[in-house]
Amino acid sequence: MLRKLSLAVLIPVCMLALYLVLVAAEYFYESKQVRKELAERQVDQITQQLLRMRAVVQSAQALQDIERIEQEVSLATLDMNVMVYILLDANSRIRFANHTVWRDSNAIEVIDGYDVVRHHAVVQSGQASISINPDRLSIQAYYPVDAQYPEATELIYFESDLAPLVAKASTELQQRFMRVWGLGALLLIGFTFVLYYLLIRPFKMLSESAKQVGTPEFLTQVPWSASEVLSLQTTLQQVHEHLGRAVKQLNDNEQRWLFAVEGSRNGIWDWDLRTDEVFLSDRWKEMIGYQPDELEGAFQTWETRLHPDDKQTVLNCLHDYVSGKTKEFESVHRLQHRDGHYVWVFDRGMLVDWDQLGRPTRMIGIHVDVSESERNHAAIAELVKQSVAGPKMLPETFMAQLSQYLNQRASAGHWGALLLLNVETLGANDTLTSHELERLLSQLSARLSSYFAENIVIAHIELGRFALLAKELAADANMAGRRALALATELKQIATRPFHYGEHDFRLNANIGICLLDSVDSLAPELAVRRAELAMQHAQSSDHAGCAFYHPDLERSQDSESSLLSRLERAIAENQLSLMFQPVVDMQGKIVSAEVLSRWHLADGEIVPVAKFIDLAERHGLIASLDLNVAERVCLLVKQLKQQGIHLPRLTLNISTLSFCQADFVEQLVGLVNAHQLGEQQLGIELSESALLAAEAFVQPRINRLAEARVAITLDNFGAGLGALSCLRHYPLSEVKLDLHCAANLTNDTSWSQALIQSLQAFNLSIVAKGVESPQQQQLFSHLGCTHFQGYNIARALSVNDFKQLVCPRPLLRSV
C-alpha cells in the first residue's frame, strides 16, 4: 500500500508524524520534569515545617504546654493541601490531629496511608522519612520526636496532597505547548509547500518523462530546481540517447547472430518448459533432413525421433538436470533422419530462466552432427578389441590426413601443431563396464568435435587418447606457439569438465603434448606423433600444469629416464631401496606409530630424490610394485622382531593414489598382512585426499576390505587444497595428518591451522601435526588441539637399527 503513495503525500505525512512524535515526547518529558521539580519544592517546605514543629513539640512537652501544640497543629491545617497532620505516641495512638475526630484513636484504624512498621523504623533510627506516594499522588512524612515521658508524642505523621498543584502545573504546560504546536505546524506547512515546488514536483515531471525514454515523445523540461534534480535530468537525457543507440546495436547484433547461427554447423533449440513449445533453427532441421518450414515447434518433435535404445537414458539425463540433480545437460545420442536412418548428435543445453518460485521455465541448447566422430570411435573400439597387448595402431584415416597436411603445408607457409590428449579415467575403470567406459569416452569425443572449427581435425586414436591437428595457426613461430598453448588450455578445460553418467559424476585428468609443425622442416607422420607423445609424457609432471611443448632435450631426457627406469626396476626387484622410520608421538612423548619412508642410494653414492623416483614409478606403472615391495618388507620386519620379543608401534606406509586405484592392489596388500599374521592395526596406510575423493562406489569396497583386515587408515596432507571433509564422514579412518604448510605458516598465522583442526575435532580422530621442527611449534599445535606430533623436533627419519634402539633401548651397563 505504502509503495503506491506519491511523494507529495508520503513526505508531508512522514514529516507531520515525525513532528508530532517529537513534540509529544518533549511534552511528556517536560511534564515529568515539572512534577519532579514540584515534588522537590514541596518536600523542602515540608522538611522545614516539620523541623520547626519538632522543636515546638519537644519544648511544649518539657513545659507540659499542651495548648501550644494544639495551636501549632491548627495553624498547619490552614494549608488546604494538608490531608493528614497527626502526632502519635509509641502505641500509634493519635495525641494531636488536624481533625478532632481522630484524637485518641488508633492511627492504624483511621489513617489509610499510615504504616506502623515504618513508624517504628523511623523512631528507632532517629532519621526522618519523607517520600512521594505516586498511587495516592501525595507526600508522606514520618518525623521522629524525642518522647520525654511515657505516652508522650514520639512521631509526627504528615501527608500533603499534590494533586491540585500537579493539575495546575499541567494546565500551564498544556497551554504553553498548544501555542508552540500551532506555530510549529504553520512553519511545517510552509516548508512542505516549498519542498513540493522545489523537489517533489520536478521529480513527478521526471517520472512522467522516464516512461517515454526511448520513444520520440520523450521530453525533459523541468523548471528551476535543486542541482541534484537537474543532474538527474541530464542523466535521463543521456540514458535516452544511450538506449536509442543500444536498441539499434541490438537489432544489428540480432541480424548478425541469426546469420552466424544459420551459417554454422550447429543447430539451435529453445525450449519453453511451461508450454513445451520449442524453437528449432533451420540448421537443426537440416541435420535430420527437413526444410525450414517443416516440423512442428514442440517437445514431442524431438522426443519422438530419439532412437529407442537411447531414449530413456537421454530423458533421464534431461530430467536430472532440470530437477537440479546434475549440474549440466550433455548427451550423445541418435535422432531419426527423414530418410529413416539415424544421425549421431551431440546435444548440450542449459537453463536460462526461472519463475518466482525458482522453477525452471526456459532452456536453450545446441545440436552438433558428430556422426563422423561416432563412426571413428566405433572403429577404434573394434581395433582395441582385436589388437594384442602392446602399442595400438593409429587409425589410418587420421594418419592419412596428417600425412597430407605435412606434405602440403610448405606451399601455405603457415605453422601448424599436433596436439596429443591423454585422459585418465581414475576410478571409472572399476565402476563402469567396458561398454559404459567407451560411451563415456565417446561423449568426450563428441564434446571436442562440437567445439572446434573446420580447420582443426580431431580423432579418437586410441581408448583414452585423442589427437588434434591444428592447421594454419600463424605465419610466425612465436605466434603459432602462443595460439597452440591457448588451444591446449581450452582443450584441457573442455576435457576436465565433469561428465554425468548413470548415477555418478566423473572428472577426467588430462595431459596434453604439443608438437609445432613448421612450413620448412619435412617430418614423417610417425615422427610427429612420437614427438607429441614425448611432450605429453613431459606434461605429466606437476610443474607443467598438464601442457608441454616438444623440444629436442626431451629426446636426451627420454634416454636418461629410460636408463634410470631400468635401474629402478632392478632396485625394486632386488630390495635396494632403504627403509627409514620417522616416529609419531603423543602429547606425553610416547611413540604411537612411525611413518615408513623409502630412500634410493645408487651404487656411486648418488641419492635419487624421493619425488623424482616416485614420479618416475607413477608415470611408468611401477608404483604399485614399489608400494607392495615396501609393504612386504615392513610386514617381514614386524614379524621377525616380534619373534625376537620386540614389539614395534604401528608402521604406516605411504600408498600412491595410482596404486590404491589398481584393481588387485588392495587384495595383494591384505594378502601380505594375513600371510605374516600381523596383529590388529600393526600396519597402517596413508592415503591422500585425491584417493578418497574418487567415486564412492569405487572407494568404499576397498576401504571396507582394509578395515576388515585390521589395517589402520590415515588421511594424509589434510588441508592441501581439496578439503575432503566428506571422507571423514564416509570412511573408517584412524587419524588425520595435517599438510606440511600448516607447520610452515604456523608462527605467522594460526587461523588456517586452527580452522582445519576445529573442523576435525568433531570426528573424534587423532590429529597429527607434521613438520614440527621446534618446541614452540609443538606447543602451538598442542594448544590448537593436535594430539600427535611428527617432525625433526621429535626425531629425523631413522634407520632400522636406530629405530629399534629408540623403541626398545638396550639396558645400560653398570660397573660393579
Q: Is the per-residue pLDDT at 254 higher than 70?
A: no
Rg of the chain taking only CA atoms, in angstroms: 48
Q: Is the per-residue pLDDT at 768 higher than 90?
A: yes
Do residues 613 and 654 both lie within one domain? yes
Q: Total structural domains in the chain? A: 4
* DSSP 3-state of 630: helix
User: What is the reported pLDDT for 390?
Assistant: 35
* DSSP 3-state of 447: helix
Q: How far apart are CA 651 and CA 810, in angstroms?
A: 21
Selection from 166, 206, 201 nearest residue 32 by Cα: 166
Number of H helices and number of E strands within the chain? Answer: 28, 26
* Cell 605453422 sits on residue: 415
Q: How far apart are CA 96 and CA 103, in angstroms?
A: 6
Q: How far apart are CA 226 and CA 208, in angstroms?
A: 18
For residues 144 and 428, which has the higher predicted lDDT (pLDDT)? 144
User: Percentage of the chain with pLDDT > 90?
Assistant: 10
771: left (phi over 0), alpha (psi -120 to 50) or beta: left
State CA 215 to chain mean position distance: 46
Q: Which three cell numbers stand for residue 695?
A: 567415486
Do residues 269 and 398 both lie within one domain? no
Do residues 55 and 163 both lie within one domain? yes
Strands (E), 58-193: 82-88, 94-97, 129-133, 138-144, 155-161
User: What is the reported pLDDT for 501?
Assistant: 62
Residue that terminates a domain, selected from 144, 169, 194: 169
Give a yes or no: residue 239 inside a domain: no
Angle at CA 440, nearest 5°, toward 438 and 441? Answer: 65
Burial class (CB in 10 A: 0-12, 13-18, 19+), 326: middle
289: left (phi over 0), alpha (psi -120 to 50) or beta: left
How much is the average pLDDT of 774-803?
A: 90
Q: Is the per-residue pLDDT at 503 higher than 80?
A: no
* Cell 590404491 sits on residue: 660
Residue that terminates a domain, selected from 308, 336, 369: 369
How much is the average pLDDT of 234-251?
A: 79
The CATH number given to whatever domain includes residue 684 is 3.20.20.450
Do residues 397 and 318 both lie within one domain? no
Q: What are phi and psi of 228, to 5 degrees?
A: -65, -40
Range of 475-489, 733-747, 778-792 with top mean pLDDT: 778-792
The CATH number given to whatever domain includes residue 72 is 3.30.450.20
Give a yes or no: residue 510 inside a domain: yes
Sheet bearing 277-280, strands edge to edge: 277-280, 266-272, 360-369, 342-354, 329-336
If pLDDT is split at 50, 70 and 90, which confidence band does 425 have?
low
Strands (E), 337-414: 342-354, 360-369
Selection from 201, 206, 235, 228 nearest residue 218 by Cα: 206
Contact 581, 552 (CB under 8 A): no
Domain of 532? 392-551
* DSSP run (H or E) holding 593: strand 591-601
* DSSP 3-state of 513: strand
Q: Where are the alpha helices (DSSP H) in 218-266?
A: 227-263
Q: What is the number of residues in the chain?
A: 816
User: What is the reported pLDDT for 372?
Assistant: 59
* DSSP run (H or E) holding 686: strand 683-688
User: What is the reported pLDDT for 392?
Assistant: 40
Give a yes or no: residue 181 inside a domain: no
Do residues 164 and 284 both lie within one domain? no
Do residues 44 and 88 both lie within one domain? yes
Q: How far apart are CA 464 and CA 423, in angstroms?
A: 5
> Could you tell me the CA-to-CA distances from 676 to 397, 560, 631 in Å, in that order?
55, 38, 11
Give a yes or no: residue 213 inside a domain: no
DSSP at 273: T
Give a yes or no: residue 215 inside a domain: no
Contact 410, 477 (CB under 8 A): no
Residue 449: what residue type? S
* DSSP run (H or E) holding 375: helix 371-386
Selection from 302, 306, 280 nearest residue 293 by Cα: 280
User: Percentage of the chain with pLDDT > 70?
Assistant: 85
User: What is the reported pLDDT for 637?
Assistant: 92
Q: Which of 66-70, 439-443, 662-666, 708-712 has the lowest mean pLDDT?
A: 439-443
Q: What is the pLDDT of residues 154-184, one digit of tens each?
A: 898 888 888 887 788 788 778 887 887 778 7
If pLDDT is split at 50, 70 and 90, which confidence band does 265 have?
low
If pLDDT is split at 50, 70 and 90, which confidence band does 393 have?
very low
Query: Which residues have a Cβ under 8 Å from the Cβ of 297 and sit 6 or more positions away?
Result: 277, 278, 279, 280
User: What is the reported pLDDT for 653?
Assistant: 93
Q: What is the pLDDT of residues 327-347, one digit of tens each?
A: 778 777 889 999 888 888 878
Q: What is the pLDDT of residues 6-52, one digit of tens each?
A: 666 777 788 888 888 888 888 788 888 887 888 888 888 888 888 88
Pairing of strands 499-501, 277-280: unpaired
Contact 280, 261 (CB under 8 A): no
Q: Is the per-residue pLDDT at 499 higher than 60?
A: yes
Contact 83, 163 (CB under 8 A): no
State CA 335 to chain mean position distance: 41
Residues 241, 242, 243, 244: is their CA dihedral positive or negative? Answer: positive
**pTM, full prediction:** 0.43
Give a yes or no: residue 446 inside a domain: yes
Residue 654: what residue type? N
Do residues 499 and 619 both lie within one domain? no
DSSP at 765: -
Q: How far apart are CA 123 and CA 111, in angstroms?
A: 19
Contact 504, 431 (CB under 8 A): yes
> Could you tell me the CA-to-CA distances from 253 to 101, 258, 364 in Å, in that order?
107, 8, 18
Selection from 795, 417, 807 nearest residue 647 by Cα: 807
Contact 641, 600 (CB under 8 A): no
Query: Other CB atoms closer than 10 Å to residue 661's CB: what's the count?
Result: 22
User: What is the reported pLDDT for 630?
Assistant: 93
For residues 635 and 71, which has the higher predicted lDDT (pLDDT)? 635
Q: How far apart are CA 689 and CA 505, in angstroms?
A: 17
If pLDDT is split at 50, 70 and 90, which confidence band does 256 have?
low
Residue that terminates a domain, selected from 303, 338, 369: 369
Contact 694, 732 (CB under 8 A): no
Do residues 306 and 339 both lie within one domain? yes
User: What is the reported pLDDT for 786?
Assistant: 92
Do residues 323 and 467 both lie within one domain? no
Give a yes or no: residue 376 inside a domain: no
> Could you tell me the CA-to-CA distances from 336 to 256, 342, 366 in Å, in that order?
31, 4, 17
Give a yes or no: residue 199 inside a domain: no
DSSP at 102: G
Q: What is the pLDDT of residues 287-313, one digit of tens each?
A: 888 988 888 888 999 999 999 988 888
Do residues 426 and 487 both lie within one domain? yes
Dihedral (C-alpha) 691, 694, 698, 702: value to the nearest 10 degrees? 20
User: What is the reported pLDDT for 568?
Assistant: 85
Do residues 80 and 142 both lie within one domain? yes
Do residues 405 and 533 both lie within one domain? yes
User: What is the reported pLDDT for 386?
Assistant: 42
Q: How far apart are CA 542 and CA 511, in angstroms?
A: 10
Mean pLDDT of the chain: 80
Q: What is the pLDDT of residues 85-121, one digit of tens each?
A: 888 888 888 888 888 778 888 888 888 888 889 999 9
Residues 224, 230, 236, 240: is their CA dihedral positive or negative? Answer: positive
Q: What is the pLDDT of residues 544-562, one digit of tens each?
A: 567 888 887 776 665 566 7
User: What is the reported pLDDT for 683?
Assistant: 92
Q: Is the per-residue pLDDT at 747 higher than 80?
A: no
Q: Which of 201-210, 431-440, 466-475 has the lowest mean pLDDT?
A: 431-440
